[in-house]
Amino acid sequence: GDKDGEATRLNNIGNVYNDLSQYAKALKFYQQALEISKAIGKRAGAATTLGNIGQTYTHLSQYAKALEFYQQGLEIKKAIGNKDGEASSLNNIGLIHHKRADYLKALEFYQQALKIAKAVGNRNLESTTLDNIGVVYSDLGKSSQALKFHHQALEIRKAIGDRDGETASIHNMGSVYNQLGEYLRALESYKQALEIAKAIGNRAGEGTIFNSIGGVYDNVGEYSQALKFHQQALAIYKEIGSRHGEATSLNGIGGIYYQQKKYTEARQSIEQALAIVKDIGAQSDEGSTLNNLGVVYASLGEDSRALDFYQQALKIHKKIGKQDSAGTALMNIGDFYLNQQEYSQAIEFSQQALKIFQAIGKRDSEGNTLSILGRAFLKSGNLAEAEKNLLAAMAIRESLRAGLQDNDAFKISIFESQANTYRLLQRVYIAQNKPEAALEISERGRARAFIELLASQLSTDETDQPTIAQPTIEQIKRIAKEQNATIVEYSITYNDVRTKGKYLESKLFIWVIKPTGEIKFRSVDLISQGTVLADLVPKMRESLGINSRGAIQQLAYTPGDLVRLKDDEESGLKEPWQVIGVDSERAMLILTHPQFDDGVQISRPISDAIAKVESSRTNQQQLQNLHQLLIAPIAELLPTNPNDRVIFIPQGELFLIPFSALQDSDGKYLIEKHTMLIAPSIQVLELTHRKRNKLRGKKLGSALVVGNPTMPTIPLTKPPQRLSSLPGAEAEAKAIAELLNTQPFLGKQATKVNIVPRMQQAGLIHLATHGLLDDFKQLGVPGAIALAPSGGDNGFLTSGDILGLKLNAELVVLSACNTGQGRITGDGVIGLSRSLMAAGVKSAIVSLWSVPDAPTAELMKEFYQNYLQQGMNKVQALRQAMLKAKDKHPNPKDWAAFTLIGEAE
């Protein structure tokens, strides 16, 4: 009979079982096919089958066996001169080394395969190999190289019309973006890949992509979206019978439940995944699933079970030779002992993990492990070792960031995950009583990406990529003298033991650098005060009546309140009424007025009262609490002359605090005693200053004023939401344009096409429109200014767009909703102010919440009169305008939202 045909048939049956994750059955059919091919001397057929067997053992994580079969296949292909087959075998062997995290060896085999594929002109193999090389670089944390290889692969696949391959390359690129924290770009890539997979009916590919999209939503904290995508993937895998895919999806679903703190659901989902991978014999996946289960049990407070799972995972990964995963398991065990406060154990396991990561060149994991070691040595009192490990971790972090070249967004997100190292090192130096060394590290750990960005714009020569010297104490003292200001830098440090999976804040470090160069250090113990800064900010906003969406809260009145009634204006009453009683049955207020004789009172319906008036000395408990924490410890170090400048360098949540409204125990606001501004770091002050000197001679253009554009629609919401119109902003823009002698751009005229070219010419820019926070709910609008949509653009001027502009404005004012609140990261408030300064603006005035129209318009008008007509500098002009607004509208909600970032002059 047709023996050769039978072998092919058996191979095909094997392939079907392989796709269904029924590996033992697949092997049975492949073995039969192999025997037939050998018996009839069909070496080419035998080689193919050997490859199939290798692949099945790879699925079973039996890497040594897989390698054995691939090598046999390679020998045959070499002997019969099948060059294409040889390249394909080399690729498979590379893949085994790659799975074991032997990255250099994997690259060696992939490079050999690439050389052959190019030589014989096999474009298909060439592109597969390029993609494989890209994935190795991605695993090594070398993202820019990874993207380069995936891109080359994609070009070839497009050229030869390989749609399946195209899906793979685009998906790979998405995964690199995801790893880098460029989530929007990752989603774009995944969605492109998905369209192709659907078009060609590649169901397995669809499943993979759905899981990946779920992963991105998980990373940005949109858990319900993430769950939806993992569940779609699960449904596809069930339908096509891929048990392996099912397990991957269940692990993903468990991960989402874990993030949502639904630990029981997480456990159930991951246990289902574990049952599947055990059943199909996929050991590598079994190891990583056990690891996930350990993490969940730790959060359920079942520590001994967690440890047990980590140890099982470690055993499997060691057995199959998967080094990177063995390293991760060791790191988890080290971290586990650290939380148990068993430091010698923590150190021992972390050092084992470190050896592995150093050997395989996985730099990011090496940095994480050094950080855990630093923490363990700090806790066990070995400060010298702690310092050594943390400095090494920091060096790795900084080299990883340098590898991102000029990709600003990547730098910020990778920096975020590294901020911890800098905080630990500050604690080590404070414990060694070296507050100045700690200040250097505090500076070194903030706004790095921003500083590099500003510096690259200062360097006129394109090739001269500026290397920014790390900040030294000498430089910091010099900057305080140059600025002729008192600089106050805050740094929040965290506890070492997780409480419910989170590290809580432990101490607030404060440095005061005087204009003389003298440096003082203070430390505030947050734990003994039972204070959580992260809670204080929302409480403070609530107490001022600012909730996130600015809705007016129902006013409740108590005797002693001062109120205005709706007809006060007409009757010419300047002073407010005082509430002496409330009749809630009849909804009436019993009132008296300073102009009445003693004892005279009237009743009015509650609905006639239009506002509560705060006396300018109303005690604001939350603002006093913040003053107590942030200002009281250093009050005696601050200047006594209210015109002397104080520059605050906040961190984290502190960026959202209106420093001007912090109130001392006598009810005095900080703005009454000091002239203040904010900066993301001390080094940034010097760079904006240098920039300003560079521009001294240039003649600046006129003012540009924009108000209430026809509002755009936010793309990714379901259904799409249009932003609300701002009539108050329109009135404000008209009044300010008149002051500045220019015509405002309003409504339909205020398009991106009209505004952007004018921004580059303007000396002063005033934007009265919506400002959106950084990727407002991840809706595909990174921090953005709302302009009118026109032609092809959606109307959003994003932070990214602004970075690409060359601006020379002295000042940009964003008097809109919520502009000051970018995502809070180690790089300061990203968001619009950061992009504006990076694009060349000297100073920005932004608001931390949306302020009612009337006070905003008055305050802005006053500011411009002070700045342009009274000859005050920006920071004085803003302070005087705020003081005046405070007298008229005593509630800080109405005057304290505005803050100046950058240069004071």
pLDDT band per the 50, 70, 90 thresholds, residue 557: low
- Predicted pLDDT at 608: 79
Q: How confident is the model at residue 518 (pLDDT cuts 50, 70, 90)?
A: very high
For residues 761 and 634, membership in a common domain is answered with no
Residue 133 is assigned to a structural domain of this protein = no
Q: Is residue 97 part of a domain?
A: no
User: Are residues 802 and 898 part of one domain?
Assistant: yes
What pLDDT score was predicted for residue 273? 97
Are 533 and 505 in the same domain?
Answer: yes
Q: Is the pLDDT of residue 415 over 70?
A: no
774 confidence band (pLDDT: 50, 70, 90): very low
CA-to-CA dists, residue 314 to 37, 51, 290, angstroms: 40, 29, 9
Give the Cα separation of 605 and 714 in Å (integer): 42
Integer CA distances (angstroms), 438 to 356, 415, 636, 679, 685, in order: 31, 19, 22, 19, 19
**Measured on CA atoms in the order 389, 395, 397, 403, is the torsion positive or negative?**
negative
Average pLDDT score over residue span 186-209: 95
Task: Give the bridge partners for 814, in sequence order.
Answer: 767, 846
Q: In whole angstroms, what is the distance from residue 507 CA to residue 615 CA?
A: 35
Within a domain: residue 349? no
Which residues are registered as beta bridge partners of 902?
Answer: 843
Predicted local confidence at residue 485, as pLDDT:
95
Q: Is residue 510 part of a domain?
A: yes
pLDDT value of residue 819: 42
* Tens-place pLDDT, residues 178-191: 877 677 788 899 99
Report the first-to-last Cα separation within the chain, whole angstroms: 94
Please indicate whether residue 209 or residue 285 has the higher confidence score (pLDDT). 209
pLDDT band of 404, cuts 50, 70, 90? low
Q: Where are the alpha helices (DSSP H) in 241-302?
A: 243-259, 263-280, 283-299
Instruction: Return the pLDDT at 824.
Output: 39
Q: Is 665 exposed, middle or buried (0-12, 13-18, 19+ CB in 10 A)?
A: exposed
Same domain? 516 vs 604? no
pLDDT, average across residues 33-43: 93
Residues 36-61 have a mean pLDDT of 92
Cα 823 to Cα 196, 220, 381, 591, 826, distances in angstroms: 34, 12, 35, 46, 10
pLDDT at 51: 94
Q: Is the pLDDT of residue 425 over 90?
A: yes
Please compute the mean of the pLDDT values over residues 641-664 and round it to a whole number.
Answer: 90
In a domain, 745, yes or no: yes
What letter represents residue 97's amino acid? H
Average pLDDT of 530-551?
66
How would residue 347 be classed by pLDDT, with cut points 50, 70 and 90? very high
pLDDT at residue number 413: 45
Q: CATH code at 848? A: 3.40.50.1460
User: For 30-58, what is the mean pLDDT?
Assistant: 93
> Are residues 534 and 637 part of one domain?
yes
- Does the pLDDT value for residue 821 go beyond 50? no
In this predicted structure, the answer to whether residue 287 has a pLDDT above a threshold of 60 is yes
Please write the tens of the pLDDT for every residue from 449-481: 555 555 555 554 444 444 556 789 999 999 999
Contact in structure between 189 and 171 (CB atoms under 8 Å): yes
User: Quick one: 635 and 592 in the same domain?
Assistant: no
- Can you say whether the dihedral through the CA atoms of 327, 329, 333, 335 is positive or negative? positive
Residues in the chain: 905
User: With left for phi above 0 and alpha for psi between -120 and 50, is residue 890 left, alpha or beta?
Assistant: alpha
* pLDDT on residue 830: 42
Q: Which residue has the higher pLDDT, 62 or 399?
A: 62
Residues 672 and 703 placed together within one structural domain of the fold: no
What per-residue confidence (pLDDT) applies to 609?
A: 76
- Degrees to nearest 5, angle at CA 361 with 355 and 365: 70
How many angstroms separate the CA atoms of 137 and 127, rounded?
16
286-300, 316-330, 703-717: least confident range: 703-717
Instruction: Assign 558 a pLDDT band (cuts: 50, 70, 90).
Output: low
Per-residue confidence band for 566, with pLDDT thresholds at 50, 70 and 90: confident
**Across residues 217-224, what is the average pLDDT?**
77
Are residues 719 and 843 located together in one domain of the fold? yes
Same domain, 644 and 731: no
Q: Does 610 have pLDDT greater than 80? A: no
| pLDDT (0 to 100) of residue 402 | 57
In this structure, of 131-145, 408-422, 589-603, the range with the lowest mean pLDDT score is 408-422
Is residue 210 in a domain? Answer: no
> Is 784 or 303 the better-scoring residue by pLDDT?
303
Q: Are 93 and 58 in contact (CB under 8 A)?
A: no
pLDDT at 826: 35
pLDDT score at 63 = 86
Between 849 and 146, the higher pLDDT residue: 146
Cβ atoms < 10 Å from Cβ of 884:
16
Q: Return phi, psi of residue 437, to 5°.
A: -65, -40
Q: Say if residue 837's pLDDT is above 90.
A: no
Task: Please list, in sequence order, all residues whose beta carbon lies within 8 angstroms of the beta carbon of residue 109, skipping any fewer than 6 positions away.
Answer: 90, 91, 93, 94, 97
The sign of the dihedral angle between the CA atoms of 467, 472, 476, 482 is negative
% of the chain exceeding 90 in pLDDT: 50
Question: Helix, strand or coil for residue 752?
Answer: helix
Q: Is the dihedral of CA 322, 326, 327, 328 positive or negative?
A: positive
Q: Which of 632, 647, 682 is the last residue of a domain?
A: 682
438 Cβ contact list (under 8 Å, min separation 6): 425, 426, 427, 429, 430, 509, 521
pLDDT bin (cut points 50, 70, 90) of residue 606 is: confident
Residue 192 confidence (pLDDT) above 90: yes
- Supply the DSSP symbol for 788: B
CB 95 within 8 A of CB 58: yes
- Among 29-38, 540-549, 734-743, 814-823, whose mean pLDDT is lowest? 814-823
Residues 571 and 653 occupy one common structural domain: no
CB 685 within 8 Å of CB 483: yes
**Angle made by CA atoms 720, 724, 729, in degrees to the nearest 5:** 150
Residues 489 and 624 in one domain: yes
- Could you tell me the pLDDT band of residue 498, with boundaries at 50, 70 and 90? low
**Residue 823: band (very low, low, confident or very high) from pLDDT cuts 50, 70, 90:** very low
* H or E segment and range at residue 44: helix 43-59
The reply to whether 595 and 665 lie within a common domain is: no
For residue 600, give its domain range: 562-613
535, part of any domain: yes
Supply the pLDDT for residue 778.
39
Percent of the chain with pLDDT strictly greater than 70: 86
Task: Tell me whether residue 841 is in a domain.
Answer: yes
Number of domains in the chain: 3
What pLDDT is attached to residue 838?
A: 77
With a cut of 70, say whether residue 416 has pLDDT above it: no
